[in-house]
Amino acid sequence: VRTAAGTDTGAGAGNSAGIYALNCGNNISIHNNTSTWSHENIILSPNGSQTNYQIYNNTVAHSTWGINVQIGRDSAEITGVYVYGNDYLMTNDWGSAADSFHLDGIFIFGKQAGATGGMNNGYVYNNYGHGDASYISGNNNTTAWLYINGYLNNFWIFINISTIASN
């Protein structure tokens, strides 16, 4: 885990997670947690075809990816993804002039082209993103407050608020 004064961009820091749920089954609920100073504060990824993944009412800060839901295997599939009521702080703690990491508050991604499986019926709502994730030495390390891509079907994104602190 990276510390407030840390500059480590190697595997030790880059592979850290506050809550790491890999190869999960059905009906996974991650809620009412606080996680800070990890590469990914919350990561959730299925194995096979799964349903009902919920991430809600969490507070995450000081990470590259605050909350990450992903399809990590070629044939994996999730139906019913709910990410709501979370508070995420975006900062430049992981930023660097070399742009070693891309910063995302909530990062959801499905499959690459040609893969089977995917992510279906997703809802991302009532999340609050805030902080100062701006340029470092001319590089914008931030990709997005909400970054959602990759062969997703029937996704609804609504009533999310993102505010950027001024320098």
Per-residue pLDDT reduced to its tens digit, 24-38: 899 999 999 999 988
Residue 81 or 131, more confident: 81
Give the closest residue to 70 by CA, choosing from 93, 38, 104.
104
pTM: 0.88
